[in-house]
A and B are shown apart, each in its own frame.
Chain A
Amino acid sequence: MRRNLFPGALVALSLFVPPVAVADEAEIESLRLAIEELRADYDQRISDLERRLAIAEQNAAAADYMAEQAMPAVVGEASNPAAFNPAIGVILQGQAWNYARDPGEYSVQGFPYGGEAGLIGEGVGLAETEIIMNANVDDKFTGWLTAALAIEDGESIVEIEEAWVEATALPAGFGAKFGRFFSGIGYLNSKHSHSWDFADQPLPYQAFLGGQYFDDGLQLRWLAPTDLYMEFGGEAMQGGRYPAAADSRDGIGAYTLFVNIGGDVSANSSWLAGASWLDADAIDRPSGDEDEPLFFTGDSNLAGVQFVWKWAPQGNWKQRNLVVQTEFFQRHEDGTYQLSDTSVAPYDVRQDGWYVQSVYQPIPRWRFGARYDQLSTENPGPLFDGTLLAAPADDPRRFSVMMDWSNSEFSRLRLQYTRDEAGPANDNQWGLQYIYSIGAHGAHTF
């Protein structure tokens, strides 16, 4: 600003100088210079203004686009109603599986499956198609919907997997979520199926959580104000889903508590450890054979611990990385099983389940993984001899390997082999899977 005072004063001054018949050449030259300097200064200021205008225009155009994406634009920036559309993403998945044994006869002795646990259907077919929508509701709430389109017994069904609202304006590190959501227990439980490293869930999830536990309820989380990541959370759930099966008259059928801690060891390595606990009420909870289910009434407690370690040279994830993860669960069910119309037997049994897996990406786009999972159970007693609840002679176990190729972060093709020693007879299982994501795609958690 100070720069143009001098030439400005010069021009103003020159108006009051009496005209001289023969102007001094040096004076003309200095006037010309002064005018040029003025012009350059104004050019600079105009181009500055033009630049600012261009940035403003660019950001206004961006606002429309941003509103369609996972991170909405600043509220009040655009007046276009379409700018408030939620981010929409679709996950397309398909699988082809081959079993040496009849998958229709599959069951795991000692662990009647409930919920959505079980083998993936044989042959070629669509897996779950997910439609995901999310957006900020206003400045204090954000909303999320995951609708899963699946084919069950030849019919297309729509299932609401997640429909939750989260309060984003709570102070002091608190967060609250309500609606339907994947419980925060365990490590894998809250992961969407498209981000799993294997096509199916490990045995403890199948046996103890019906594949993956989600329910209607309320979740509270608190993050400690420390450099070490420390998250404490708890949930109160309706209890409408395996392993819970609550009486609809009673409001809350399941409680959970979980704690997660984590940090970095170096630029290369990070870790996350956690413990969780689920207490579920069950009243006439069906499991096992769909046509002739076993009904459990009682208390189901599940305690779990987990550890995840991720490594990448210099933390440059894209080039090369390695993940090792393990979870251990112990379940205690205390109650009664209805074995037939007339016979009810007391059941008080502790069961363990664990898995360990590792996935290595040696070069961009290619990953290789191996997983071992196993279950073990106490014998529930002679009353259960001959039923699916009796303890098996050998602990159910599986060993799986997988290889996948991801052309971009939106596509993945996977080949998986599982040696299954959990079912009624040892089986070799081969699977092919594709996972494609179109539209907006949210960020993945650790």
Chain B
Amino acid sequence: MAMKTILALLIGLLPLVARADLDVFACEPEWAALAEEIGGPLVSAYSATTPYQDPHYIQARPSLIAKVRNADLVVCSGAELEIGWLPALLQKANNRDVLPGKTGYLEASRYVLRLGATGGTDRAQGDIHPLGNPHIQTNPHNIAAVAAELTQRMRDLDPDAAETYELGLLDFLERWEPAMQRWEELAVPLAGTRAITHHKSWVYLEDWLGIEEVANLEAVPGIPPTATHLSQLTAQFAEGGADFIIRSPYQDDKASLWLSERIHVPAIVLPLSVGTDDAPDLFAQFDVIIDRLLGALGNE
């Protein structure tokens, strides 16, 4: 009787124990979304951050350590974006398969051409990244490049399902490439426009669409905008010279709204990552970015 009850309980618990083939721990939501695009139901992806969080400043929370402990693959932007927390997670998680140098550790920025690499640097210049700008996800061509490497890693980690991951990649690229073409056609009027951005988060988008970055709200990267710097910008752009002021969902809106009011240039929020209410997936993210930039130009 007791035996039967236990058996019944165990059978009832089975679906809870059954796991996906690959547990993916992504530092940023775009890599979790990409892993799901490629791996579909074979992948269980978890993102350590949300698009409402500044990925430079994340607490090495116990929940994240537990996730890394159980991960088969850790995917992060790299280029020191996560230097303040990822090493602590890896050190505490006791998971030898996802340490740097292993198949289970993927730094996305290694597979794209990084912009703004300075080699060595002086911290007086602020929170800049000697390995280049880590916000690579704002150019869809970078997403495609990382997708190829991600697929390779998934195949290596789960060889039984290699074909499924390859088909997943093909299926994704078959949808992604026409989407890129569509965005590029839509974005033609954006070439040559001038942007003021809160932080240097958008250099890959600007490079892709031919937008010129004329100023940043932060006088020194990583340090909040100062009153002196904002009044300088007011003087500099009083007579024009900028088309929009861009910030990310996690950045304080005060500085960009303040400047927008004074220089009469629209201040807009663009999804820097996937998972905001208006950008639930990678495709929607770029739809929203292009749409909002065109809207600000008055070319909707």
Of B119, B127, B131, the contact of A408 (CB 8 Å cutoff): B127
A169 to B224, CA, bound (A): 41
Whether the Cβ atoms of A73 and B52 lie closer than 8 Å is no
Q: Which of B5-13, B32-40, B87-95, B281-289 contacts A (4 or more CB under 8 A)?
A: B87-95
Encode A307-335 as 1/0 by CB contact (under 8 A) with B.
Answer: 00010101111110000000000000000
Whether the Cβ atoms of B59 and A226 lie closer than 8 Å is no
Q: Is A228 an interface residue (CB 8 A)?
A: yes
Which 7 pairs show the lowest CB-CB distances between chains A and B? A262-B62, A229-B62, A443-B88, A229-B66, A318-B57, A175-B94, A314-B52
A333 CB to nearest B CB, Å: 32
Q: Is B264 an interface residue (CB 8 A)?
A: no
Q: Is A5 an interface residue (CB 8 A)?
A: no
Q: List 20 A-B contacts (CB under 8 A).
A: A58-B117, A65-B120, A65-B130, A70-B87, A71-B100, A75-B101, A142-B91, A173-B94, A227-B63, A227-B70, A228-B66, A264-B63, A267-B52, A318-B250, A364-B224, A364-B252, A408-B222, A438-B123, A443-B86, A444-B84
Q: Is B126 an interface residue (CB 8 A)?
A: yes
Q: Is A39 an interface residue (CB 8 A)?
A: no
* Chain A residues packing against B (C-beta within 8 Å): 51, 54-55, 58-59, 61-62, 65-66, 69-75, 139, 142, 166, 168-171, 173-175, 221-223, 225-231, 260-264, 267, 270-272, 310, 312, 314-319, 364-365, 407-410, 438, 442-446
Whether the Cβ atoms of B113 and A54 lie closer than 8 Å is yes
CB neighbours (8 Å) of B132 from chain A are: 58, 62
A310 to B49, CA, bound (A): 16
Cβ-closest chain B residue relative to A55: B113
Whether the Cβ atoms of A223 and B69 lie closer than 8 Å is yes
Whether the Cβ atoms of B224 and A315 lie closer than 8 Å is no
CB neighbours (8 Å) of B84 from chain A are: 409, 443-444
Q: Is B166 an interface residue (CB 8 A)?
A: no
Interface of B is mostly: loop
Whether the Cβ atoms of A267 and B50 lie closer than 8 Å is yes
A443 CB to nearest B CB, Å: 4
Whether the Cβ atoms of A317 and B62 lie closer than 8 Å is no
Encode B41-75 as 1/0 by CB contact (under 8 A) with A.
Answer: 00000000110111011111111011101100000
Which among A54, A225, A267, A318 has the highest number of chain B CB atoms within 10 Å? A318
A264 to B50, CA, bound (A): 14
Whether the Cβ atoms of B54 and A316 lie closer than 8 Å is yes
CB neighbours (8 Å) of B96 from chain A are: 168-171
Cβ-closest chain A residue relative to B121: A65
A377 to B126, CA, bound (A): 50
CB neighbours (8 Å) of A310 from chain B are: 59, 61
Of B62, B83, B91, B112, the contact of A260 (CB 8 Å cutoff): B62
CB neighbours (8 Å) of B252 from chain A are: 319, 364
Whether the Cβ atoms of B70 and A225 lie closer than 8 Å is yes
B43 CB to nearest A CB, Å: 17
A171 to B59, CA, bound (A): 26
Cβ-closest chain A residue relative to B100: A71
Q: Is B237 an interface residue (CB 8 A)?
A: no
A55 to B132, CA, bound (A): 12
Q: With A223-B94, A443-B85, A443-B91 given, can you name 8 additional A-B contacts, CB distance below 8 Å?
A: A74-B101, A168-B99, A173-B69, A174-B94, A223-B66, A267-B50, A270-B61, A444-B88
